[in-house]
Amino acid sequence: MAGEITTIARPYAEAVFKRAQELGTVDQWSASLNTLAATAADPLMAAQIANPNCPRERLRDLIIQIGGESMSAELGNLVRLLAENSRLAALPEIAQLYEQRRVAAQGVRQVLVRSAFPVDADQEQVLATALARRLGAQVELTVEQDPDLIGGVEIHAGDLVIDDSVRGKLKQLSNALQF
C-alpha cells in the first residue's frame, strides 16, 4: 500500500514543486503542504477521508475551511483536484515527496541510516562522507538504532536502499532457498 500511495502522490508532488519553483514560492508551499498533511493525517480526518460514504465535496470544503484565509488559490485548487479524484489520503505523502524534492534542489540529500548498534560521531562522519561521495551531494544523516537488524546497517536515501544488515541477508537467503 505504501508503494501505491507513493506512485499516486509523486506526480502531484512533482507538479506542485515545479509550479512553486516557477513562482519562487518553494518555502511557502512547503509550509502549506505540511499543514495540509497534518490535517489529512489527523485520525478523525483520516477516518473521514477513508470513508467511501463521506461526500468528497464535504471533505474538500472542510479542508479548505481549516486552511482558512492563509490558503492560496492554487493550494485550494490542489485540494479540489485531490478531492475530485479521491486522492486526499495522499496529502501526507505529497508533502513528504515535495520536501524531498525541495531538499534535493538545495543540493542536500536526506539519508536515514538504521543500525543494529549505536553509531558514534566519528562513524557518523565517515558514513556522511562516503555517502556524499556516492550520491554526489551533501547529505543530512538521520541515524536510528534498530536491534531487529541483528547486525549491520540499512541506508535509505530517497528511492535508493542499501541493506547490509544481517536481517536483510537472512531474507535474501530465505528467498533464494524457496525457489
φ/ψ of residue 71, rounded to 5: -80, 120
pLDDT digits (tens, 9 = 90+) for 51-81: 999 999 999 999 988 888 878 889 999 999 9
What pTM, to 2 d.p., does this model score?
0.64
Residues 6+ apart with CB under 8 A from 55: none
The number of angstroms, rounded, from the C-alpha of 117 to the middle of its chain's C-alpha atoms is: 25
**Location of C-alpha cell 536510528:** 144
First CA to last CA across the chain, in angstroms?
A: 25
